[in-house]
Structure 1
Amino acid sequence: MKMIPIPVKKYLGMAMLSVGLFSCSDMLEVEPSAELDKDRYYQNEFDADAAVIGVYGKLMQFAEQYVVLNEARADLMDATMMADSDIAALNNHSVVASDDNKYADPRTFYEIIVNCNDALEGLEKMRDENRITEDQYVQRYSDLGAVRSWVYLQLGIHFGEVPYVTQSLESIDDVNNPSLSPRLSLPELVDELVKFMETLPYMDPYPNNVSLVGNYDGYDMSKFFVNKRMVLGDLYLWQGSYQLAAENYRYVMETGTRLNGAGDNDYYNRYKMSWSGSTYNVNYDKENDIRTLQNNNSNGWRSMFGRPSNDRDERTEWLWIMHYDSDFAPEYPFVRLFANTGDGEYHLKPSQTILDLWNADEQYNSFEFDARGILSTQNWDTDYPEVGKYTFNYDAISSPLVKNGKWFLERASSIHLKFAEAANRDNAIDELPKLARALVNESLGGAYTPDDFSGDDVTDIQNTLYLPYPYDFDARNGNYPYYRSSWYRHQGIRGRAYLPPRELPEDMEGGEAEREWTEDLIMDELAQELAFEGHRWPQLLRIAMRRNDPSVLADRVYDKMSSSNNPETVGRAPGVRAKLMAGDWFLPFHWEE
């Protein structure tokens, strides 16, 4: 097999030698016995690029573990009767150290982390010896530093207390040596990661003149690399530094504003949940004909998962996405996990919880379901529903062995929901829960237009410019005087899904009750919008810890398990709820040497 489609011939020899002893055989199918002198191969910019590619190649092998851990442990995916024992144990919260559960193996995380540590030291060596320029150094160092921080955050989310290693090691088993690697709790780990991320010298994406980015073999590499502001925002959100989290998310949301002039579509559309073109809207060809829901890879909400790489609209939604191709390693894992035909093994399916949540909503045309349910799944209304987001391009009949696909990591919706979560919890300003709901619901312009408004002058409405940054949005859209402000096309997450806003009960305005109601709205909307994309367990854990209320997590997992069609899962549900209510949220940290 060939490597991931980046200029392979150009980087192949260097990548073999630059990504460290722990990943050479995995990344490029080098024999495990190959003895490599890493110091010989950190010589120039191409070696630096090869080190970066090596880390990301290793990261791509983490996709299956990431999705399974973050979804099977939560409430939106359920194990099928065909699930293997490792997935069933995660689903039933019955993992024990002696099981050697392949998904609950911290070694996979540390293989990426140790690769990062080696590459970071190699980059420093090249910079100190003037083999790469300062700009080349800071761009690549910051990128890999953010990757390492993101992986560490995932590690802490699932294992709670973990060794924190930032230096090269002679052996990966030194990770478990307490004299070399202090163990940090999740809050302590987050604090250390924040300190590190705040020191990174370069926080923007790679510039276009860097050879790592571009279009290779039909794949746009600009979204392949982690967004550093997103990582820092996530860390601040976990830390409880809500304004700082919102500042970093807002910076991402304003990408199009910074890079383009007013009047350019990207200025109004990128990461702003824009109605322009309705590219990713829930649409019907005929308003009142349920059969005409746009449900394909070219049009409507579903198409954000099915469109080809390098599609011109991809950049309006996707912030971080990795493409897999059957002609290149590593293999795409999600056909095996989710498909029930062809080469699929159907280990995981949508839970009854998420199916019920989608079915409990009502669209503007009075259809009594959230269309995102149909558009996120396959065989929605059968006894064997499938997670569809990852397999919309899989053809089990004519090309069962062709398993191309995408790993969905971050997009506009996830950033908006996390911004809303941060704003809602920033107690410095009483009005922020309203702003959070505006982003989730119908639109900024709609939320800040008085019910009794009539006329043309929108100067003093449709905006929050009276609030300090990062909460100052301008969505004014008027003709006399003329306004087409930077957020005037915003339609909200539910608005894009053709769903009316969920209104705050009149007797709940103000105080902690309003913030918790808004937070519950955000949790429900994340479920309906981002189901199966790997965001659920982190969100539930974070909010349970924030509220000091384990029922946030325990009740939702209990509801999933008790509504399963597997009697064993149903029987375990009360015990799992008791376990989670006791704060037993983390997997055993078992290191097999």
Structure 2
Amino acid sequence: MITRSVQIMHKLIMCLVLFTIGLSSCKKTFDILPKDNLDHQQMYQNVYDADAAVTAIYGKLLTLADKIVILNELQGDMLDVTPNSDSYLRQINLHQATTDNPYINPRPFYELIVDCNDVLYNFNQMLANKRISQADYDIRYSTVGGIRSWLYLELGILYGNVPYVTSPMANIDEVNNPNNYPWLSFDQLLDSLIQFTESLPYKDLMPSDISLNTSVNGYSTSKFFIPIRCLLGDLYLWKGEYTQAATEYHIVMNYADVLYPAMNSEQWYETYKVAWTANINGANWVNIFSQPYGERYSNYEIIWDLPFDQNFAPTNPFIRLFDNIAGQYLLKPSALSIQNWDNQTRTDHTPGDYRGLNASWKWSAGVPIVNKFTAYFNPLQPFATNGKWILYRAAMLHLRYAEAANRDHHQKLAYAMLNVGIGTEYDPAYDTTGVGGGQSRDVTNIQQSFGPPYDFDARFGNYPFYRGAWHRNVGIRGRVSLPPDYIDSTKYYDMSSPEIDKPIIDETGLTLTLENDIVDEDALELAFEGNRWPDLLRIALRREKEQPGSGVAFLQSHIAAKFQAAGDAADAAAVSARLADPKNWYLPFKWQ
């Protein structure tokens, strides 16, 4: 049975040929059916069949990679069209998508959602008929349920109001019948997603001792599966429940405690902590993207990613999108994104950002191209198209945690995460002199924060000896040798106070200023990865709710800046006019 399971998983993971996981009447929802198609009653017999169904879901998720990146980045300010872009891409770039635009068709999302619904239904049947243990059911049901919630979050971000379908259906086109399923506003959708995702029986990262966690053709599946607590954190962040968001993020940030229970190894100090290992710091930051799938040091950073393999479908779509020699060069870094990186100055006073030129982007035959997705692609070897799609990584986790902490009255901690790290920011010597106090003093009562979910131990001292779990944390900007985004303390703090931590006198102003800094850092750190428009939209919705007009102004200024940096004042004005109405922040939901 184990041999049979491996054979099935090999077909599904590496070929990404979709296993027939639905009722026979749902078969039209799949792109490809294997020749040795089994009746679905034969398929859900044991845990290995359940593994095959799970893997098929993740295989089909890969087919959405280009769509998600296009819609989530081209609507933002970091990605732009090229002379090769078709009219439909240009529409998205200008926030003028028409209903016949093939890129905005929601059907592919719902095809996978319907598959998830069918798998979840059949897992329930397996459990009821004792064909799977409760423990095996919990993990597999949860990872498929997590994917469904993640897909719905994407739909809510893109379309606003969407039909919420949670049961199997005979025909995918039933989704488009408003009489069949409730249409939820984005806010209602968030409530439903939080309720369902919280109800999942297993929320932690995939355990290492189960059959789903294996290695096939050199690809470890340990990072294949959605980090449900990160998803929950995101849902709460969108909802404005900041303490709960930080709670979920905090668990994953400290997940090395589970992965490395001895708690004294490099892996424990580094994993998901944005720490000081030279292998992915400074000029080596690009290794997060340029190293092969599963490489050790990039895995300190990567929480969730999926591989593309040159020998199996689907092919790596990012080469077609971004490469100008072997691909079609349909999208490029915006002039604004390049300008943002070039405007940085490192702590050694040299110009530029290690995350910019030859990292996130590079020159190729005289034009700028996105490098993150093609960092180890060689146009002289056009058939060597292996790659990886990073969906969640530590920097994104820390930035979102900082966003939540800032809104939850923990601005100092948010500033530490964004800039120099916890140990440095919580060092009184650094606060007063700008230089840390070293390891030869007693650090028992410093270099730490308190009160969950905002508690971190970053103590680093020799007398007495401390090596806190977070003593290697260097902050998002510190990791790439950039100075802090300094805040004018005289505006927001009572500088006459003798206390080292000055009382805040304008918390609203401080929060907004720090939030702006976080948004700017999101762009520098996460550009092109499929998060920019969601990040901008989340802040805009939040501010518009707090003060009507402020969210509009925020979104207008960021998106217009893309066109202004490219010298296109007319498009900047047109886009600003369109974004003045929050209804235009969403794509038209048109079934195709």
TM-score after normalising by structure 2: 0.90
Give CA-to-partner distance per residue, 1:398-438, whole Å, 9 cap, x none.
x1122111111110000000000011111xx4xx1111010
- 1:339 and 2:328 equivalent? no
- Whether the 8 Å CA contact 2:286–2:360 is kept in 1: the answer is no
- Whether the 8 Å CA contact 2:18–2:59 is kept in 1: the answer is no
Identity %: 41
- Counterparts of 1:168 and 1:9, CA distance in 2: 25
Give the paired residue count.
557
- 1:579 and 2:578 equivalent? yes
2:375 matched to which residue of 1?
Answer: 392
1:115 matched to which residue of 2?
Answer: 115
- Counterparts of 1:6 and 1:490, CA distance in 2: 42
1:460 matched to which residue of 2?
Answer: 445
Aligned-partner SS, 1:349: strand
1:533 to 521, 529, 533: 529
| CA 1:23–1:441: 2 relative to 1, 3 Å | farther
Matches within 5 A, 1:184-203: 184-203=184-203
> Amino acid of the residue matched to residue 323 of structure 1?
P
Matches within 5 A, 1:64-75: 64-75=66-77
Matches within 5 A, 1:19-30: 19=22, 22=26, 26=30, 28-30=32-34
- Counterparts of 2:7 and 2:158, CA distance in 1: 31
Aligned-partner SS, 1:179: coil
Higher mean alpha-carbon deviation, 121-130 vs 367-376, is at: 367-376
- 1:556 and 2:540 equivalent? no
2:547 matched to which residue of 1?
Answer: none
- Counterparts of 2:362 and 2:531, CA distance in 1: 23
1:55 matched to which residue of 2?
Answer: 57
- 1:323 and 2:307 equivalent? yes
- Whether the 8 Å CA contact 2:142–2:201 is kept in 1: the answer is yes
Aligned-partner SS, 2:200: coil
Higher mean alpha-carbon deviation, 6-15 vs 507-516, is at: 6-15
Give the drift of 1:262.
2.7
> Amino acid of the residue matched to residue 17 of structure 1?
T
- Counterparts of 1:335 and 1:411, CA distance in 2: 22
> Amino acid of the residue matched to residue 236 of structure 1?
Y
| CA 1:477–1:6: 2 relative to 1, 3 Å | farther
2:395 to 390, 413, 423: 413
Aligned-partner SS, 1:127: helix
| CA 1:336–1:23: 2 relative to 1, 3 Å | farther
- 1:42 and 2:27 equivalent? no
Q: Which stretches in structure 2 are left out of the alignment for 5+ residues?
A: 1-5, 493-503, 545-550
Give the drift of 1:379.
3.4
- Counterparts of 1:247 and 1:116, CA distance in 2: 27
Give CA-to-partner distance per residue, 1:128-176, whole Å, 9 cap, x none.
0011111111111000000000000000100010000000011001111
- 1:479 and 2:480 equivalent? no
| CA 1:93–1:199: 2 relative to 1, 3 Å | same
Give CA-to-partner distance per residue, 1:247-291, whole Å, 9 cap, x none.
110100001123322311122110001113x111114xxxxxxxx
TM-align CA RMSD: 2.2
- Counterparts of 2:232 and 2:31, CA distance in 1: 28
- Counterparts of 1:412 and 1:357, CA distance in 2: 22
Aligned-partner SS, 1:571: helix
- Counterparts of 1:444 and 1:421, CA distance in 2: 15
1:441 to 415, 419, 422: 419
- Whether the 8 Å CA contact 1:78–1:564 is kept in 2: the answer is no
Give CA-to-partner distance per residue, 1:28-58, whole Å, 9 cap, x none.
4548xx9975334222212211111111111
Give CA-to-partner distance per residue, 1:283-311, whole Å, 9 cap, x none.
4xxxxxxxxxxxxxxxx111110111232
> Amino acid of the residue matched to residue 72 of structure 1?
L
Give the drift of 1:502.
1.2
- Counterparts of 1:240 and 1:135, CA distance in 2: 33
Give the drift of 1:460.
1.5
1:289 matched to which residue of 2?
Answer: none
- Whether the 8 Å CA contact 1:117–1:167 is kept in 2: the answer is yes
Higher mean alpha-carbon deviation, 254-263 vs 17-26, is at: 17-26
Give CA-to-partner distance per residue, 1:419-476, whole Å, 9 cap, x none.
00011111xx4xx1111010010111110111347560111211113xx101011101
- Counterparts of 1:456 and 1:41, CA distance in 2: 64
2:230 matched to which residue of 1?
Answer: 230
Give the drift of 1:572.
2.6
Give the drift of 1:5.
10
1:7 matched to which residue of 2?
Answer: 9
- Whether the 8 Å CA contact 1:363–1:370 is kept in 2: the answer is yes
> Amino acid of the residue matched to residue 129 of structure 1?
N
Aligned-partner SS, 1:262: coil
2:295 to 311, 318, 339: 311
- Whether the 8 Å CA contact 2:246–2:453 is kept in 1: the answer is yes
| CA 1:377–1:230: 2 relative to 1, 3 Å | closer
- 1:139 and 2:139 equivalent? yes
| CA 1:446–1:410: 2 relative to 1, 3 Å | same
Higher mean alpha-carbon deviation, 164-173 vs 259-268, is at: 259-268
- Whether the 8 Å CA contact 1:339–1:386 is kept in 2: the answer is yes
| CA 1:409–1:5: 2 relative to 1, 3 Å | farther
2:384 matched to which residue of 1?
Answer: 402
1:295 matched to which residue of 2?
Answer: none
2:266 matched to which residue of 1?
Answer: 265
- Whether the 8 Å CA contact 1:67–1:533 is kept in 2: the answer is yes
- Counterparts of 1:550 and 1:23, CA distance in 2: 44
- Counterparts of 1:508 and 1:218, CA distance in 2: 55
- Whether the 8 Å CA contact 1:116–1:145 is kept in 2: the answer is yes
- Whether the 8 Å CA contact 2:336–2:562 is kept in 1: the answer is yes
- Counterparts of 2:347 and 2:224, CA distance in 1: 36
Higher mean alpha-carbon deviation, 149-158 vs 308-317, is at: 308-317
> Amino acid of the residue matched to residue 212 of structure 2?
L
- Counterparts of 1:542 and 1:410, CA distance in 2: 17
| CA 1:481–1:35: 2 relative to 1, 3 Å | closer
- Counterparts of 2:524 and 2:7, CA distance in 1: 33
- Counterparts of 1:258 and 1:46, CA distance in 2: 26
- Whether the 8 Å CA contact 1:20–1:38 is kept in 2: the answer is yes
- Counterparts of 2:254 and 2:8, CA distance in 1: 29
Aligned-partner SS, 1:480: coil
- Counterparts of 1:349 and 1:254, CA distance in 2: 36
- Counterparts of 1:219 and 1:70, CA distance in 2: 27
- Whether the 8 Å CA contact 2:78–2:336 is kept in 1: the answer is yes
- Whether the 8 Å CA contact 1:273–1:413 is kept in 2: the answer is yes
Give the drift of 1:9.
5.1
| CA 1:19–1:47: 2 relative to 1, 3 Å | farther
> Amino acid of the residue matched to residue 189 of structure 1?
L
TM-score after normalising by structure 1: 0.90
- Whether the 8 Å CA contact 1:554–1:580 is kept in 2: the answer is yes
Aligned-partner SS, 1:114: helix
Matches within 5 A, 1:513-532: 513-532=509-528
- Counterparts of 1:552 and 1:20, CA distance in 2: 47
- Whether the 8 Å CA contact 2:30–2:111 is kept in 1: the answer is no
Aligned-partner SS, 1:272: coil
Aligned-partner SS, 1:323: strand
Aligned-partner SS, 1:470: coil
> Amino acid of the residue matched to residue 507 of structure 1?
T
- Whether the 8 Å CA contact 1:218–1:309 is kept in 2: the answer is no
- 1:424 and 2:425 equivalent? no
- Counterparts of 1:27 and 1:387, CA distance in 2: 29
- Whether the 8 Å CA contact 1:19–1:51 is kept in 2: the answer is no
